[in-house]
Amino acid sequence: MKSLLFLAFSLFLCASSTWSQTADTSAPKMELAFNRYYDHKEIGEILQRFKTTWPQFVDVGSMGKSFQGREMWVLTLQNRKTGPENEKAAMYIDANIHGNEVQGAEVCLYTIWYLLENYGEIERVTKLVDEKVFYIAPTVNPDGRDFWLHQGNTSSSSRSGQRPIDNDRDGLLDEDPPNDLDGDGNILRMRKKVEKNGTHKTDPEDDRFLIRVEAGESGDYVLLGSEGIDDDHDGRLNEDGPGGYDMNRNNPADWRPPYVQYGAGPYPFSEPEARSVGNFLLNHPNIASVQSYHNAGGMILRGPGADYVSEYPRADLRVYDAIGKEGAKILPFYRYMVLFKDLYTVHGGFVNFAAETLGIISFTNELWSESQRFHTKERNRNARREFNDLVMMGSLYREWKPYKHPQYGDIEIGGWTKESSRVNPRFMLEETCHRNAIFTLNQAEHMPRVTLNAEMRSGPTEKTRTVRVTVTNNALIPTRTALAAQKRIGLPDFLGIRLRESQEIIAAMEVSGPAHNETNKIIPNDPGRLRLESGVGSKSRRQFQWIIAGEGPLEIYFESQKGGAKKTTVGS
Amino acid sequence: MNKHNIFGMTLVCLFATLSHAQSPPRFSYLKANNLNAAMRQLAARDSNAKIEITSIGKTGEGREILALTMCVPRQKSRQAWPINIQPRAMWKSGLLVVSGLESNSLIGSSVILGLAEKIANLELEPLAQTLGERMLIFIPRVDLDGSERYFASGPAQEQLGNARAIDWDRDGRALNEDTPVDLNHDGIITQMRQRHLSGTWIDDPENKGLMRLADASKGERGVYRVFPEALDQDNDGSFGEDPNCGVRLDRNFPHGFQEHHLPSGPHAVSEPASRALADFVLARPWIETVLVYGSHDNIHTLPMAGKQQKQKSFRRRSEVTQYHSEDIKLLEPIHDLAHESKACAQSRVQSISGSFEDWTYYQLGLVSAAINLFDAGTPKENAQPTTKKRNPSSQPTTKPTSSFTSQPSTPKSSKENKQKGISPWKAFLHPTLGKIEIGGWKPFYRDNPAPEHIPSMVNRQFPILSLLLSRSARLNLGDVQCKQLTEGLFELKAWVINEGEHPSQTKQNTFNRFAPSDLLILEVTKESLLSGQRRHTIASLEAKSGRKKYQWLLKGRSGDSIHLHLSPAHTSPLTKEIVLP
């Protein structure tokens, strides 16, 4: 009873209008439904509506084109009046690298909508838009998305892009795909009745389903696999469908060839979609945090993808753990996990590229947990059936129907539809959108926030002055991850001093020690531009000191690819 | 004296001023546009060979990378074939010869041009003998941008890598703000050395003018610290640490690619030129063999055979990093001939991460040879031809501790010649360092012989090329028997045999399963095939003796004809008509 009440309450919440998530009760500036899935064309139109509604904050561009020529839309969201884009920490969010993992695109659209609708309404949102930059790409596999939405598929097919591949090495490309024989937009299952000669029998508890017979028992059915015919007459069904590679294994981070890592492609970034995203990240060194949306399983995943690096440095782990554990609270039924330890090995994954090649704090969320159906972690093998019957009016399942198969003769086709698992039931989509959007905005709030303070005093000699500069990072994410510092990824941070002609640097040193009163690190080379390879750490500060000869004010600057640019003037 | 003091300014000026309309010098080092012009002229001339030029793509600076394809025409007409999307019926097993992946090595391009010209000049019979049923593709220079430094005006400077701008010292300032300079105005940029307590180098007593690292285990103590010939233009305490050079294409391919290493590039196949080359090869499944000219080598010293991996499921496989012993045997005839004819030099580096030849072998499963054409400073102990395979104890060393002498592939190479390539150390007063000396190898000298040696090098490489062309897999349909079992029922048997010198697949390809399969296709209706498959993927067949039998049970009528197609991975299909008896 308790769970039924809870379910009813959840349904009530989800049924309320989209703008219920805003602080204001007035109608939203832009109406957008979050109880449906949009195809690539519709996503393009929605992004343009964002630009038209909020031109001061939005730019819509393309990262490149997919194999079939679709634009790889990316929306840039920022307040241009508060400073140059490349001097602000940026968050990159994308989704749908696997064609069938669609709902991340709607989470991306919701994130954009939420930020724009609530600018000026919610203080933290306003601050985010003013201080940060968001790059949001709702679908980075637009061919795969449209294929999944508009063609017959299962919930698991197809992850790939649409470049034809000879999966069965018979010299022909994509010549034996699954076939939507009954034309219902799904790839279902096929079964054949073979009286007393089969491997399966009807489930006595529910005659819509088959169960395997026990040893010594005979069944009335054989299962023939997914809906399809032997298009190439090689005796096998559906063995060479569209695509057949994995763009989430095509990135240059611990990339391994296809004989080691299925779907890797002939070389890193061989696929135009993966290459476009990779180049976008390479060209935006201000990106300090990355979020990628997949489905399914309710997971907040971080790297490493494989044990080629045993673990991330301890300093980075503290950051990941803090964000991941917060995420597990924001997202009920989601677990914070490490890819290679808790799930499986991934070579050439996208978040691995972002984290391990580019030194960016990066997460992948596997959207939708089966536990969300009845809001319980209790294992119930019949949960999908009950959910279909009790909540979805039976719409997720197709009854068995007879079909005349060219190879198998009289068979039946039926089973679960492509929306029966992995994707959110549409009425439950908005909550997933909101909670995941908040998870990423939470990450964005943790991106580096640097302040620069400088003090000047006379001495140590009569004609010299001492300038002490404190660079503070008030955020959880460091200006450079420990991994970036270790591997010398990107540029170090720089703390510099601009001198007039009459001025001269006599010495530069880092101030350290528990009381910040030891000046034991003398910087011998290039004292006017100090190189901070390890950046400014998580919620910490670094202090430096210059001894200067010559009169007049001094301009101090701090430059960081991910921590932004700051400057201050001391002295007179 | 500017650059290579043997070839001298006259030739360089001549090449630099060459117009497209003029004939390029036959044996010389050519600027990119002259090299491309020479290739186009070669393709346009009268020849018994069918020759075609294809642009495989453009470099980062927009230079066109050209491939020159040659074969014996099937018909006498010079009708062009669509080489980019060649119909399978036209496939011939391909030998791809590539050079110029390294910006500082120009000799390979000139040798390739010489080879192409030699083949174009052949009479019909020797041409047919040389090329046979093979397709020959020459790509003389891939790093066209980086190689232009050789021809640049101003002091000669040898830098590796293409034209990608890299902030080598990661100082976030202007790019390449501290490049080496010609301090002593001798027209060449070499090295500086300074006696210093922190020095690790000493004079090499066996090689006048050269240095080597001090060997502490022998009680030696370093004397010199060494820098590029440079000022500290950005006042950061380092000298010439931000030079004007880019990514090394010979390290930009995926096998063994070194991540987080600036010369290798931001990621594997990051450069337009390397991607153009990779895509070119991937789009031509008929390429069976690869030969790379550069400073890499797997012919002078054969690769080390690795412990063979067992066939595991995909999920449990790890990457192969050592040659299969059977695949090394495919390189052995080239190794033997190259030593016999002194056509290869030892490489001065142990192994190259991210090389093109390793990618084509380890990941594409092709037969892939790499020949180092020239090294003016080959270590003495390795100068004599060796037939030994590379093993851990006899691997070449990168340490400049050995004595240097003339190397086998340089015609008339001598100690005296080498000395001409070394600029003697001369005292200089450096504005920051004070008393120093400037000297060492002259730019480009070590990897590029004097142009007058090119013809003889072409002559030495021609037998190697001919040998590679003569060796391939050649699948054929052997005995095909069809007998009637009873009225309307037939048994068909067919043998597929490999008559070639190479197995139908390298061992590496049977493991990585990247290259397309050889196929045997029986063209019958589903209804008439009672047993057997319509399409067979043919497992690897050994060289010379490899054969496999296939069998079918068919329903039909006497007198009906059916077709059996053998579709090898690298060559055009063969079809046999079978009349049911």
Topology given in CATH for the domain delimited by B475-579: Immunoglobulin-like (2.60.40)
From chain B, the residues in CB contact with A357 under 8 A are 259-260, 267
Q: Where are the alpha helices (DSSP H) in B121-231?
A: 124-131, 144-147
Domains of chain A (ranges, CATH numbers): 2-12+42-149+245-368+424-445 (3.40.630.10), 175-241+393-416 (no CATH), 450-570 (2.60.40.1510)
A153 Rama sector, left if φ>0, alpha if ψ -120 to 50, beta otherwise = beta
From chain B, the residues in CB contact with A524 under 8 A are 237
Alpha-carbon gap, residue A300 to A274, rounded angstroms: 22
Q: Of the candidates B278, B363, B533, which has its C-beta nearest A235's C-beta?
A: B533
The two tokens of residue A270 are 């061989």
From chain A, the residues in CB contact with B567 under 8 A are 171
Phi, psi dihedral angles at B9 (to 5 degrees):
-70, -30
Mean pLDDT score of chain A: 93
* pLDDT over 90 (residue A12): no
Q: Of the candidates A171, A257, A492, which has its C-beta nearest B363's C-beta?
A: A257
Quick one: pLDDT at residue B173?
A: 86
Alpha-carbon gap, residue B71 to B48, rounded angstroms: 9
From chain A, the residues in CB contact with B537 under 8 A are 169-170
Reported as type and span, the H/E element at residue A569 is strand A564-570
Quick one: pLDDT at residue B308?
A: 62
Quick one: pLDDT at residue B307?
A: 72
Rg (CA), chain B: 27
From chain B, the residues in CB contact with A260 under 8 A are 314, 317-319
HEC string for A347-379? CCCHHHHHHHHCCCEEEEEEECCHHHCCCCCCC
- pLDDT digit string, tens, across residues A90-123: 999 999 999 999 999 999 999 999 999 999 999 9
The two tokens of residue B234 are 């950005």
Which residues of chain B have a pLDDT value below 70? 1-27, 74-87, 308-316, 350-351, 378-418
Alpha-carbon gap, residue A124 to A226, rounded angstroms: 49
The two tokens of residue A435 are 């909670």
User: From the candidates B270, B312, B320, B540, which should be mutated to test the interface with A, based on the most A CB atoms within 10 A?
Assistant: B270
Residues of chain A whose beta carbon is less than 8 angstroms from a beta carbon of chain B are 166, 169-171, 232-235, 252-260, 262, 266-270, 278, 282, 357, 487-489, 491-492, 494, 524-526, 529, 531, 559
Q: Which pLDDT band, with edges at 50, 70 and 90, does A572 fall under?
A: confident
Quick one: pLDDT at residue B500?
A: 96
Q: What secondary structure letter does DSSP report for A310?
A: S
- pLDDT digit string, tens, across residues A210-266: 999 999 999 999 999 999 999 988 888 999 999 999 999 999 999 999 999 999 999
Three-state DSSP state, A340 = helix
Asked if B88 and B518 count as a contact pair (C-beta separation under 8 A), the reply is no
Residue from B107, B25, B13 nearest B445 by CA: B107
Alpha-carbon gap, residue B110 to B449, rounded angstroms: 11
Residue from B466, B459, B462, B365 nearest B134 by CA: B466
Nearest C-alpha of chain A: how many angstroms from B422? 33
- pLDDT digit string, tens, across residues B498-536: 999 999 999 999 988 888 889 999 999 888 999 998 889
Burial class (CB in 10 A: 0-12, 13-18, 19+), B310: exposed
Alpha-carbon gap, residue A494 to A498, rounded angstroms: 12
Quick one: pLDDT at residue A482?
A: 98
Domain chopping of chain B, boundaries: 48-151+246-307+319-392+454-470, 191-228, 475-579
Nearest C-alpha of chain A: how many angstroms from B329? 23
User: From the candidates A246, A259, A531, which should be mutated to test the interface with B, based on the most B CB atoms within 10 A?
Assistant: A259
Q: Report CB contact under 8 Å: B314, A529.
A: no
Among the four given CATH numbers 3.40.50.300, 3.30.1330.40, 3.50.50.60, 3.40.630.10, the one describing domain B48-151+246-307+319-392+454-470: 3.40.630.10
Average pLDDT over residues A462-487: 97
Alpha-carbon gap, residue B525 to B516, rounded angstroms: 25
Quick one: pLDDT at residue B12?
A: 34
Q: Report CB contact under 8 Å: A255, B534.
A: no
Other CB atoms closer than 10 Å to residue A233's CB: what's the count?
18
Alpha-carbon gap, residue A384 to A343, rounded angstroms: 23
Q: Of the candidates A257, A278, A529, which has its C-beta nearest B254's C-beta?
A: A257
Higher pLDDT, A285 or A519: A285
From chain B, the residues in CB contact with A529 under 8 A are 171, 173, 236
Please give the C-alpha separations between residue B145 and each of B32, B58, B245, in angstroms, as whole numbers: 8, 10, 10
From chain A, the residues in CB contact with B534 under 8 A are 233-235
- pLDDT digit string, tens, across residues A142-199: 999 999 999 999 999 989 999 999 898 887 899 999 999 999 999 999 999 999 999 9
Q: Rounded to 5 degrees, what angle do the CA atoms B135, A264, B64 make?
A: 45
Q: Report CB contact under 8 Å: B260, A487.
A: yes
Quick one: pLDDT at residue B149?
A: 95
Across-strand partners of B386?
none
User: From the candidates B535, B565, B572, which should be mutated to test the interface with A, based on the most A CB atoms within 10 A?
Assistant: B535
Q: What secondary structure letter does DSSP report for B402?
A: S
Quick one: pLDDT at residue B396?
A: 34
